[in-house]
Structure 1
Amino acid sequence: MEMFEKAVSILAFLSIGFSLTEAYLKANQIWKRKHERLVVESISVTAQLVSLFPLSIFSLNYLFQRQYVGLMDSTIFATLAVFNIIVGMSFWVPGERKKGFWTLIKETLNLERKEAGDLAKSFFKPSGAQKIINILGQVAMIDEVLDPREKQFIQSFADHWNINFSWDNLTKNRIADTAINLIHLRQDVTDYLAISPPQKQVSELKDIINALINIDEEVSEQEKLIMGELDGLLSGYISQQPNAARYHVIVVPQNERQVQVVTTSLPELIRYEIGEGFAYHSSPFYSKEYANVISDGYRSLNLLSIVTFTLPSQINSIVSEDESPN
């Protein structure tokens, strides 16, 4: 047993070399970049001060108890903490040293105080928070009327998540075409779901959208329309069931100019081959009313467009369906 204790004692003494090597490598990486602002701001002086206190206490305790291995180990890392503090207070950043030691310490601690909640906020900010705010903004504007209560409701989320949201950009970038705005909104929701947010978060978003639509105590036709589609989209993601969307919008260009219109202006449409040529189809929609509005938007561009349950395999069937009464 005595031999074992002696062996451990020797190994503990030798381990000081590892501690010294670790401290040197850490300091060496910082030393070469000690004058760079980004490196300086990446060091938390507060954290180093916090670590320095127990290290100092341990060092004194080891000294009084004559445990010199522990004393050397604590002293090494206490010295490293002091070095990090000096670097973190911008001592070697050009033009900063002349401010004086205490001024540098004060400025550094003030900066850290302002940023202290950033990590905590990131834990409580949902994934895709910026996308969520953009979606809510578009929902509020879907009827082209922004009620003050809608604005306040959305702004409360933006403030809570520390997101800079420009209402001017939202209104400025909108298009007069309702169908295009509906497409953009649905696509943004699809993009949000593509980042695989937690199902609970998506369920909460669904409730938030419902609350937003009803907040002004008046549900417009446009809001009913988009909610019917988004409800299916979000519910499908939450349930993880096979896609229940079944309404396709089919577009058949009649000439080369219309082909150019589709390929350059309607990227959401997917080309597919049919018997006598080709046509374009949308992703399937949950709401027939929504699909009809999208189809009407394409018709406004003088494109042949219909809403169907399945993708037609013959162009003639598309034409005949388009000519039949609704």
Structure 2
Amino acid sequence: MIQNLSKLLFIFCFSIASEDKLIEGFYVDVNSKDSINLKKDENNYTLEFSNGNFVLFTSQDGTIASKNSFIDGFSTLKIINNQTFEVHDKKSNEVLGKYKLYAKPSWLLRLIQILASGALLISIFQAYLKVNKIWKRRTITEVANSISIVASLLGFAVIVPFLLNSLFISQDYLSAGKSMIGLFLALLFSLISSGYFLEENRGKSLVKLLLNALSAEKSESADLITSMVRPKGAKKIIDILHKLAAIDDDVAQEEIDLINDFAEKWRISIPELIPGKPDEVTNLVELKALVQSYLDEGPDIAVAEGLVDLINLMAEADDEVTPEEAMAVSEFTGMISHYVSMEKGGEVQMFEVSIVPQGEEQIKAVREILPELDVVDDRGGKVFKVGKYFSEDYAEAVCKKYIALGLYSGATKVKVDLS
């Protein structure tokens, strides 16, 4: 009785063993030592090779056969036990490889596999959120113009090869599903960016809309790169050069060429400049305020120092430096040096203009002209401090303005600590 039970138990165990299912994990070929990753789904097995290729084996009529080519042809998979299997040629039954389990997937890998299996659902939800946000705005011109038609069309070039690989080579239908979602989004964004849903484009052919969108984007294709290489405050630099060219009441062709070169380089649109007498004479005080406004924006030190060379180049463009240009260049060079010194710390040399009144009548006159100034005691007398300037020429020009009014004025060299 016990003997019979032992035989039955042996037969039962043998039958279970014969129906073993392979354990998921990493297998190695006992001969070539090539490793593969085996994944299972019910009675289906996927072999993933180190080069990225996949072979899918499906159980049908008691035979586990490949659905795509294994090496040079179709093959069958024979399970020896739950940790060993062989791959046979389907026609000759020749053993192509014998594989044994050498590592089970870690908990981290299993977690990744679980997350990957839910990736399709997440992708569908993500696509819905993208479409839901933009769908009700598809008829707005600004929305259509904000989407790159080139990037949308390139989506097809990227996704289609992956879709074909997933369908016909690796048979990875999960990846194929995600590629299909990507294709749908690429199609939708291509239609929106072409202006297909805009009211003013109703009745126009899709081909014409695509060509128009591509043409419009061509002119904008370098905007991002240009904004990255364009110096900070480039528009103000062009304005400074333009006003500096007109400071001597004569704009030379060489100065216009220099302005146009930088405007074209920085992709800044400016009105056509005509050589000769300018429409508007530059006021030195206004130009100084423009330079200060540019420096207040906080340009890079290297760019600010480069502006000094640019201003000098502008003044010498027509091979003639007028007194007005020389004064402006001197003052602006000092202003920029002051800015650089403030950024780096240290001392800068400046010229302080003072008015020294000769009696009470002149004190009253100065207070009427410059009510914001206070009289101070300096060097044993009453003095009005007008201001500090960066160039001696500019300071002297300020002094001459007050001397012309009958006031005694002079410039003194001072050092200002900026640390």
Interval of TM-score (by shorter of Structure 1 and Structure 2): 0.7 to 0.9
- Which residue matches 1:236? 338
Q: CA deviation at 1:253?
A: 7.9
Distance 1:219 1:34, change over 3 A: same
Aligned residue identity for 1:124: V
**149, 153, 157: which is aligned to 1:45?**
149
Aligned twin of 1:77: 182
Instruction: Report the 3-state secondary structure (helix = DSSP H, G, I; strand = E; otherwise coil) of the residue aligned with 1:246.
Output: strand
Q: Identify which of structures 1 and 2 has the higher relative contact order when contacts are C-alpha pairs closer than 8 Å and 6+ apart.
A: 1
Distance 1:246 1:206, change over 3 A: closer
> Which protein has the larger Cα radius of gyration, Structure 1 or Structure 2?
2
Is 1:247 paired with 2:351? yes
How far is the alpha carbon of 1:125 from its aligned partner? 1.6
2:329 is matched with which residue?
A: 227
Cα deviation code 1:250-299 (max 9, x no counterpart): 5798469946xx68xxxxxx655758x996743x2122221121243466
5+ residue gaps, structure 2, are 1-103, 356-361, 415-419
Who is 1:324 aligned against?
A: none
What is the CA-CA distance between 1:304 and the residue it aligns to? 5.6
- Over 3 Å counting, the alpha-carbon distance change for 1:123 and 1:218 in structure 2 is same
Residue 117 of structure 1 aligns with which residue? 222
Summarize the alignment of residues 129-144 of structure 1 with structure 2, pairs less than 5 Å apart: 129-144=234-249
CA distance in 1, matches of 2:202, 2:110: 49
Q: Aligned in 2, Cα 1:272/1:96: closer, same or farther, shift over 3 Å?
A: farther
1:172 and 2:279 equivalent?
yes
SS at match of 2:409: strand
2:210 is equivalent to residue 105 of structure 1:
yes
Q: CA RMSD in A?
A: 3.1
| Structure 2 residue corresponding to 1:93, chosen from 198, 212, 224 | 198
Greater shift, 97-106 or 185-194, is seen at 185-194
The 1:145–1:13 alpha-carbon spacing in structure 2 relative to 1, beyond 3 Å, is: same
Which of residues 126, 144, 148 is equivalent to 2:231? 126
Residue 204 in structure 1 maps to residue 204 in structure 2:
no
Task: Please give the alpha-carbon distance, in whole angstroms, between the structure 2 residues aligned to 1:305 and 1:70.
Answer: 87
Does residue 306 of the first structure (1) align with residue 409 of the second (2)? Answer: yes
Q: Secondary structure at the match of 1:171?
A: coil
Identity of aligned residues (%): 28
Look up the equivalent residue of 2:129 and give its one-letter code.
L
Report if the CA contact (8 A) 1:62-1:70 is conserved.
yes
Q: Is the Cα contact below 8 Å between 1:272 and 1:281 reproduced in 2?
A: no
Q: Distance in 1 between matches of 2:367 and 2:279?
A: 30
What is the aligned counterpart of 1:183 among 280, 285, 307?
Answer: 285
Q: Matches of 1:219 and 1:289 in 2, distance apart?
A: 14
Decide whether the 8 Å contact of 2:247 with 2:281 is kept in 1: no
Distance 1:2 1:158, change over 3 A: closer
TM-score scaled to structure 1, two decimals? 0.79
CA deviations over 1:295-314 (Å, ceiling 9, x no partner): 434666x5968344499xxx
**SS of 1:248's equivalent?**
strand
User: Alpha carbons of 1:95 and 1:213: their partners in 2 closer, same or farther (altered >3 Å)?
Assistant: closer
Could you tell me the TM-score, scaled by structure 2's length? 0.62
Question: Which of 292, 296, 315 in structure 2 is aligned with 1:213?
Answer: 315
What SS does the aligned partner of 2:203 have?
helix
CA 254–28 in structure 1, closer or farther in 2 if over 3 Å, else same: farther
CA–CA separation in structure 2 for the residues paired with 1:294 and 1:218: 24
Closer/same/farther in 2, CA of residues 38 and 253 from structure 1, 3 Å limit? farther
The answer for unaligned runs of 5 or more in structure 1 is: 176-180, 264-269, 312-326
Relative to its length, the structure with more strand (as a share) is: 2
Tell me the residue number matched to 1:36.
140
- Structure 1 residue 129: Cα displacement: 0.8
- Counterparts of 2:167 and 2:311 in 1: how far apart (Å)? 64
Contact in 1 for aligned 2:338/2:348 (Cα 8 Å)? yes
Q: How many corresponding residue pairs?
A: 295
1:171: how far off? Answer: 3.3
